[in-house]
Amino acid sequence: MQFTNVLVSLLLSSAVMAKGGNMAKGGNMTSKADEPVTDKSLCREMAMLTKLVELAANTTKLESKTDGNATLIAEIQAKASNASAELTTMESNTTLVATCEVIAADRQLKNDCSDIKE
């Protein structure tokens, strides 16, 4: 079972690396080209794609963010359409989703501890 999880993660990482890994090259990755693809960077990309799709779905917020610019709204909605397909693919990887939940829980725990310290 663990071998399968490692294999799926490796295949997904390879696919992302082959894709480009840099927005300047046309990819959607938030990481820099020389930065290795990690679970954390994949989770960060997944979160970014989720926010983009949610923004495009919320017309009131979209209007507010773009000051009613129809061209910009259309661009964001087109990017969100592509992001939605990529997000669906990423979310089908249960290992990645589980890993992202662990990373998010760790981040939340660190934030809670920081709040308690203050």
Domain that holds residue 60: 2-17+38-117
For residue 78, tell me if it sits in a domain.
yes
- Residue 111 pLDDT exceeds 70: yes
Question: What total number of domains does the chain contain?
Answer: 1
Please check whether residue 22 lies inside any domain of the structure: no
Whether the full predicted model's pTM is greater than 0.95, yes or no, is: no
Does some domain include residue 94?
yes
* DSSP state for residue 23 in the 8-state scheme: G
Output the CA–CA distances (angstroms, integers) from residue 58 to 44, 53, 65, 76, in the order listed.
21, 9, 11, 12
Please report whether residue 113 resides in a domain: yes
Please report whether residue 64 resides in a domain: yes
Average pLDDT, the chain: 79
Find the mean pLDDT for residues 99-112: 93
Contacts of 32 (CB under 8 A, 6+ apart): 21, 22
> Could you give the residue ranges of the DSSP H alpha helices within the chain?
2-19, 39-57, 59-66, 70-91, 94-117
- Residue 6 within a domain: yes
Q: Encode pLDDT of 19-76 as tens digits.
A: 544 443 344 444 456 678 888 999 999 999 999 999 999 999 989 988 889 999 999 9
The answer as to whether 91 is a domain residue is yes
